[in-house]
Chain A
Amino acid sequence: DTEVTQTPKHLVMGMTNKKSLKCEQHMGHRAMYWYKQKAKKPPELMFVYSYEKLSINESVPSRFSPECPNSSLLNLHLHALQPEDSALYLCASSQDSGGYRRETQYFGPGTRLLVL
């Protein structure tokens, strides 16, 4: 099973709302990632969790707050977003056990977010 699941598939929110995106994998992967992808652009790395600890934050605004409750789950909490934050948010995972950095990244289908 090489599946990464993401919920919801679509999300519409106002600038004052608080919402969360959820990502789940059951492949035993120890690294999980959040990417943001605007239309016709490549994915841009936002956050990386390694062994449930935040290891990379690519200068993402604090209105995006990641959380890794356990090794299978990754959340992205959203608060006071701007219309320009509308994008496809992709979650990915990779094995990366024992410091081995050579494995494939597996992506979820994404959550399409629209901020009004």
Chain B
Amino acid sequence: KQEVTQIPAALSVPEGENLVLNCSFTDSAIYNLQWFRQDPGKGLTSLLLIQSSQREQTSGRLNASLDKSSGRSTLYIAASQPGDSATYLCAVRLMDNYGQNFVFGPGTRLSVLP
């Protein structure tokens, strides 16, 4: 059974710092991995999607990498801002059930202090 973990569970940094969030998964049979942001009590906003054949994706200050063989992904946030404060979740899209099954990690709660 696929298990997804995220480290750290919570992170507090001063504004302007660069930071790395980690996501690990146990089964490399995935179609892709997606990073989301969730503000308290809200829905999920897609940040980056990395296909299983890709190594990284970039969008603005965000860069996500994927090492499928070792079951790891990282989300790098450059020059963090208070508006980045949220919970960041990674999710893998499994290859079983015709690729319609997703498993989420527990998330990393990020606080960026002004």
A99 CB contacts on chain B under 8 angstroms = 98
- Chain B, residues 97-111, CB within 8 Å of chain A (1/0): the string is 111111111110000
Min CB–CB distance B106 → chain A (angstroms): 5
Q: Check A101–B98 contact: CB distance below 8 A.
A: yes
Q: Which interface residue of A4, A101, A103, A106 has the most chain B CB atoms within 10 A?
A: A101
Task: Tell me the chain B residues, 42-60 only, with Cβ under 8 Å from chain A.
Answer: 42-46, 49, 51
Contact with B along A28-51 (1 / 0, CB 8 A): 000101000000011111001010
In the complex, which residues of chain A have a beta carbon less than 8 angstroms from the beta carbon of B36?
A: 107
Whether the pair B46, A108 counts as a contact (CB closer than 8 A) is: no
Complex interface: chain B residues within 8 A of A88 (CB): 41
User: For the complex, would chain A's binding face be called helix, strand, loop or mixed by DSSP majority?
Assistant: strand
A112-B49 Cα distance, complex, nearest whole Å: 27
Complex formed: what's the CA distance from A45 to B36 in Å? 15
A/B pair count, beta carbons within 8 Å: 65
Given contacts A42-B89, A42-B107, A102-B51, is CB(A107)–CB(B45) below 8 Å?
A: yes
Nearest CB in chain A to that of B105: its residue: A42
Query: How big is chain A's contact interface, by range?
Result: 20 to 34
List A47-83 residues whose CB lies under 8 Å from chain B. 48, 50, 55-56
Decide yes or no whether B31 CB sits under 8 A from chain A.
yes
Is residue B34 within 8 Å, beta carbon to beta carbon, of the partner chain?
A: yes
Q: Which residues of A have CB within 8 Å of B93?
A: 101-102
A48–B45 CA distance with the chains assembled, in angstroms: 19
Shortest distance from the beta carbon of A45 to any chain B beta carbon, whole Å? 6
Q: Are A104 and B97 in contact (CB under 8 A)?
A: no
Q: From known contacts A42-B107, A101-B31, A105-B34, infer whether A55 and B42 are also in contact, taking CB-CB under 8 Å.
A: no
- Beyond the given A43-B44, A92-B44, could you list 11 further A-B residue pairs with CB under 8 A, ordered by the A residue number? A42-B104, A55-B100, A101-B31, A101-B93, A101-B98, A101-B100, A105-B34, A105-B46, A105-B91, A108-B43, A110-B41
28 residue pairs of the A-B complex, CB under 8 angstroms, read: A31-B100, A33-B102, A42-B104, A42-B105, A42-B106, A42-B107, A45-B102, A48-B100, A55-B97, A55-B98, A56-B100, A56-B101, A88-B41, A90-B44, A96-B100, A99-B98, A101-B93, A101-B99, A102-B32, A104-B34, A105-B91, A106-B46, A107-B36, A108-B43, A109-B42, A109-B43, A110-B41, A110-B42
